[in-house]
Amino acid sequence: MSRVLIVDDEASICWAFGEYLGDLGHEVAVAATAEEGLDLARRQPLDAVVLDVRLPGIDGISAMGAFREHVGAAPIIVITAFGNLDTVIRAMDAGAFDYLVKPFDLDQAAAVVQRALEIGWTIAGASDPALGREPEERPSNRLIGSSAAMQALFKQIALVAATDVPVLITGESGTGKELVARAIHEHGRRRGRTFLPVCLAALSPGLIEGELFGHLRGSFTGANQDRKGLLELAAGGTVLLDEIGDVPLGMQVKLLRAIEHREATPVGDARPRPIDVRFLAATNRPLTELMAAGQFREDLFFRLSVFPIHVPPLRERLDDVPVLAKHFLTMASPRQGQEVSLRDDLIDELTRRPWLGNVRELRNAIERAAIVARGGPVLPEHLPPSIDLHGRGAESSNARGLEEVIARWTENALKEPEAVEPSNEESTLYDQFLAQVEPPMLRTVLRRQGGNKALAAQRIGIHRSTLRQKLRKYGLE
């Protein structure tokens, strides 16, 4: 049996979570404020603390140091209201074992506590005072997201920011790779120093070397004086090698050497010079495919992908669309900073789109809509048409989005053992698929036909009795 303290001002959470942990055989104490919790921690030994961040009085993160004094190395699990990268980073940096995002699932939350109790925790990295500070982020540079995928991303950023290892950030164009790189820089030891994104695809192959490593006077025609390279200019800071997949092979060897030995040799010089930068790289091209085609070096790939971070496309995390839209609309509003609310029909339209241009497309769409709305409420018709990156009509772009969703769904379903070997008819992959796609289609057509089943069946192109059968099967009657 372990003793767990839950500090949360929401009595219902304390009660439900307390009961749950109690059923698992733990002794649970609860407190509504950090002060009360500290008082309890002073009086009795604890094996774990679950601590809400937003509390009346001292907030959870500020209280972590004091809790640590009383509970020693016992794990502290932090609860945050909804994903905010700063809070996550501060909590992790202050030595939190893990964090839970409200509203949380009791099963999952208990699993985190259980794991914390089993593994225990020695505080690592918590003593670096530079890491405890909250970075000053401009709102336009804030990484927003409340989906589970973004929460996982925040945690990865929190873990890797404190180190100096190279990070390979992958994801489609417009997903926020540069923002992720910035967040890693802003939350690490190099914050306050240069963050230098270098778009390698935009440099002509002949110029990349000189740009990155610098050159000596006379090393080529037109080189009238010595020139420092970007890697030297960013000394002490972070360099983001953007579009790393576009670097010519010859340059890749030199980059590998720079990353591995932390030195750069200017064009025309024989002596390498030490460089002090952290390397981050980003790409929207599949490096593994480039490697297979002999266009990307394996050694550079492995060096860069010590810590890979994948930023999922927006269509895979539609939960983020409303928070992102609200954020962009607030920024676009003439009374910046004043919170705006989104109409339900706008949210519906936004979450229906495939967002092939990802967050960048969403941002542009909201900015444009705010202009068209001229200070009034933003309506769905103020949005620009959905972007079709492949030059086809909006319909085919929808179809493409759908095709991708189906492909992904199938991939995931294939990971489930029962989908591969159906044990009965109901669980065949095909049945599972129909159970996903038929109900929304039937519902929509029925709604559009005012609930008239005969018309709906006609529109869908199936017999009325088949429609009735399906409605019964899916409990849609």
Ligand X SMILES: Nc1ncnc2c1ncn2[C@@H]1O[C@H](COP(=O)(O)OP(=O)(O)OP(=O)(O)O)[C@@H](O)[C@H]1O
Site size with ligand X, rule: CB under 6 A: 17
> By CB under 6 A, is residue 144 in contact with ligand X?
yes
In the block, tokens 């999952």 appear at 108
CB closer to ligand X out of 145 and 188: 145
CB closer to ligand X out of 317 and 382: 317
> By CB under 6 A, is residue 151 in contact with ligand X?
no
How far apart CA 460 and CA 467 sit, in angstroms, is: 9
CB of 97 to ligand X, least distance (A): 25
CB closer to ligand X out of 8 and 178: 178
> By CB under 6 A, is residue 176 in contact with ligand X?
yes
Using CB atoms within 10 Å of the CB of residue 196, give its burial: 0 to 12 exposed, 13 to 18 middle, 19+ buried. Answer: middle
CB closer to ligand X out of 289 and 345: 289
Q: Taking CB under 6 A as the criterion, which residues in 336-375 touch ligand X?
A: 359-360, 363
CB closer to ligand X out of 189 and 285: 285
Could you give phi then psi for residue 264, rounded to 5 degrees?
-135, 140
Give the list of residues 6+ apart from residue 433 with CB closer than 8 angstroms, or none: 406, 409, 410, 413
Token output for 260: 């591995």
The CA-based diameter of the chain, rounded to the nearest angstrom, is 85
Bin 355: left if φ > 0, else alpha if -120 < ψ < 50, else beta: left
Contact by Cβ (8 Å): 247, 295: no
> By CB under 6 A, is residue 198 in contact with ligand X?
no
> By CB under 6 A, is residue 31 in contact with ligand X?
no
> By CB under 6 A, is residue 89 in contact with ligand X?
no
> By CB under 6 A, is residue 61 in contact with ligand X?
no
> By CB under 6 A, is residue 179 in contact with ligand X?
yes
> By CB under 6 A, is residue 300 in contact with ligand X?
no
Single out the segment in contact with ligand X by CB under 6 A; choices: 108-116, 177-185, 188-196, 222-230: 177-185
CB atoms within 10 A of CB 66: 16
> By CB under 6 A, is residue 173 in contact with ligand X?
yes
What single-letter amino acid sits at 143? L
DSSP designation for 389: T
Kindly tell me which residue out of 60, 135, 174, 401 binds ligand X, with binding defined by CB under 6 A.
174
Kindly tell me which residue out of 143, 277, 304, 366 binds ligand X, with binding defined by CB under 6 A.
143
CB closer to ligand X out of 330 and 397: 330
Task: Report the run of H or E that residue 228 belongs to, with start and end.
Answer: strand 227-228
Asked if residue 139 has a cis previous peptide bond (ω within 30° of 0), the answer is: no
CB of 149 to ligand X, least distance (A): 10
DSSP designation for 267: B
Could you give phi then psi for residue 338, rounded to 5 degrees?
-80, 125
CB of 360 to ligand X, least distance (A): 4
Residue number of the CB closest to ligand X reads 176
**String of DSSP letters for 311-376:** ---GGG-TTHHHHHHHHHHHHHSSSTTS-----HHHHHHHHHS--TTHHHHHHHHHHHHHHHHTTS
> By CB under 6 A, is residue 86 in contact with ligand X?
no
How far apart CA 130 and CA 93 sit, in angstroms, is: 10
Kindly tell me which residue out of 178, 209, 232, 246 binds ligand X, with binding defined by CB under 6 A.
178
Single out the segment in contact with ligand X by CB under 6 A; choices: 21-29, 169-177, 186-194, 466-474: 169-177
> By CB under 6 A, is residue 171 in contact with ligand X?
yes
Q: Taking CB under 6 A as the criterion, which residues in 252-291 touch ligand X?
A: 282, 284
Side-chain half-sphere exposure of 59, counting CA atoms within 13 A: 10
> By CB under 6 A, is residue 177 in contact with ligand X?
yes
Contact by Cβ (8 Å): 205, 251: yes
Kindly tell me which residue out of 37, 145, 229, 354 binds ligand X, with binding defined by CB under 6 A.
145
CB of 324 to ligand X, least distance (A): 6
DSSP designation for 384: P
- Look at residues 321, 400, 316, 398 and name the one whose alpha carbon lies nearest to residue 359: 321
CB closer to ligand X out of 28 and 144: 144
CB of 154 to ligand X, least distance (A): 10
Which residues contact ligand X by CB under 6 A?
143-145, 171, 173-179, 282, 284, 324, 359-360, 363
